[in-house]
Structure 1
Amino acid sequence: MTLFCQRGFDDVSVAEIAAAAQVSKPTLFAYFPTKEDLVLHRILDHRGEAGRVVRARADTVAPLTALLDHQLAGLDRREPVTGLNEHPEVLAFHGMVFATPSLLGRLAQHAAEDDRALAEALAQAAPAAGDLTARLAAAQIIAVQRVLARENWARLSAGEPAATRHPEAAAATRRAFTALACALPAYA
């Protein structure tokens, strides 16, 4: 990550990364299928998270309520995935990802996996709504989470402190999920 942040993703070779890690290139690729995954491994713990949240909720809790509560808790904890983390390395990481087309492309692949996992969970939560409705809802929910996180990152990158941003980030999250609830009544 240090090499990438210092010189940019495209200006660091896989050979340099392997040498810095004191492993061979084949060993490196055994753990990370692509160069992009070397960077994005930091967020892969969150892959499929929205689907897990929906599956883990109590039957009395609506899927959108569970997702909203999870998102707000992430903001409170300043989780990097919410964009509300002002640690310089986190800000630099997000800046590099958003400025590198190949990283954005790989991130889009992971987002498609998130859509699929959430759609499966939503289809199980509200089978009467149908699979297409679940897929459409999942895409909207994942897009809302992404837009909210990027807005938080942009504000923090512009110098706004996380503590100052937090109340508006939470309010924006509530507004977004209220709109989702209106648009997606099967999951509200």
Structure 2
Amino acid sequence: MPRTGPRGGPQTRAKISEVATRLFLERGFDTVTVTEVAREAGVSAVTVFKHFPRKEDLLLDREVDAAGLLRSAVRDRAPDTGVLESLRDMAFRLLEERHALSGLKEGSAPFFRTVAASPALVARAREIASDLQQALADDLEHDPAFDGDAPLLAAFFIAGYTTVLVRTARRLIAGEPADAVADDHRARLERLFDALGSGVVP
């Protein structure tokens, strides 16, 4: 019988995530079961699913963080700051911090390699992007200071940012130097926001 620890709280969630990530990166996502993750983390499978309703979310666990950043970029921007400028500031801040959501966090290559090798993870990543797009569109629709095309901007921004992120991931997987990848990431973000400013936001 596996030993079981406390079922709730952020420490339990963090422990489960840490164990799952280690196992997935070592052995591949599709070969590791939730039962194995639970046993290694010292909890029950029920507890794992309480914190992570889907197996894929054990590894792709940044959706809430991403949604919060997008929401803040729209809702918490200064009165004289446009939506596109705020989204740009957010994207470049993530880049400068080498945040996990920029794809440039140190040691990201094994993570990206694991995701790319699993059709289930790739499919879940696409679902998350779709959910984020809808959430961003909803926030823009309800923003009285934004008079552009909310669904179109949300679609173009999420698709564009995802494209930049995927290219960054592929270059890291290929073993290219991190600084060179970061420079390319920055240049592509610049082109993305130039394009958005030219055709989507009035």
Give the TM-score normalised by the residue count of structure 2. Answer: 0.82
Aligned equivalent of 1:96:
114
- Determine the C-alpha separation between the residues in 2 that align with 1:43 and 1:118: 13
- Determine the C-alpha separation between the residues in 2 that align with 1:20 and 1:49: 32
Contact 1:119 1:138 in 2 (8 A): yes
Aligned equivalent of 1:174:
190
- 2:124 counterpart SS class: helix
Aligned equivalent of 2:152:
136
- Determine the C-alpha separation between the residues in 2 that align with 1:117 and 1:77: 24
Q: Which amino acid aligns with 2:182?
A: H
Percent identical across equivalent pairs?
37
Instruction: After superposition, give the CA deviation of every residue in 1:115-154 in whole Å (9 maximum; x if it has no partner).
Output: 122112222155544xxx3112101101111111111122
2:173 paired with 1:157: yes
Contact 1:86 1:156 in 2 (8 A): no
1:57 to 77, 88, 103: 77
Identify the range of structure 1 (54-63 vs 164-173) with the bigger mean alpha-carbon deviation: 164-173
Aligned equivalent of 2:130:
112
Instruction: After superposition, give the CA deviation of every residue in 1:62-83 in whole Å (9 maximum; x if it has no partner).
Output: 1111111111111111112112
Change (3 A) 1:95 1:43: farther
Contact 2:84 2:201 in 1 (8 A): no
- Determine the C-alpha separation between the residues in 1 that align with 2:145 and 2:34: 45
Which structure 2 residues correspond to residues 30-69 of structure 1 after superposition, within 5 A?
30-42=50-62, 44-69=64-89
RMSD (Å), alpha carbons: 1.8
Change (3 A) 1:64 1:32: same
- 2:80 counterpart SS class: coil
Consecutive aligned runs of 4 or more in structure 1 exceeding 6 Å deviation? none
Compare the two structures and name the one with the higher helix fraction. Answer: 1
Q: Which runs of 5+ in 2 are unaligned?
A: 1-20
- Determine the C-alpha separation between the residues in 2 that align with 1:116 and 1:82: 20
- Determine the C-alpha separation between the residues in 2 that align with 1:118 and 1:4: 30
Q: Which runs of 5+ in 1 are unaligned?
A: none
Aligned pair count reads: 181
- 1:36 counterpart SS class: helix
Instruction: After superposition, give the CA deviation of every residue in 1:59-117 in whole Å (9 maximum; x if it has no partner).
Output: 21111111111111111111121122342xx2111221122111122222222221122
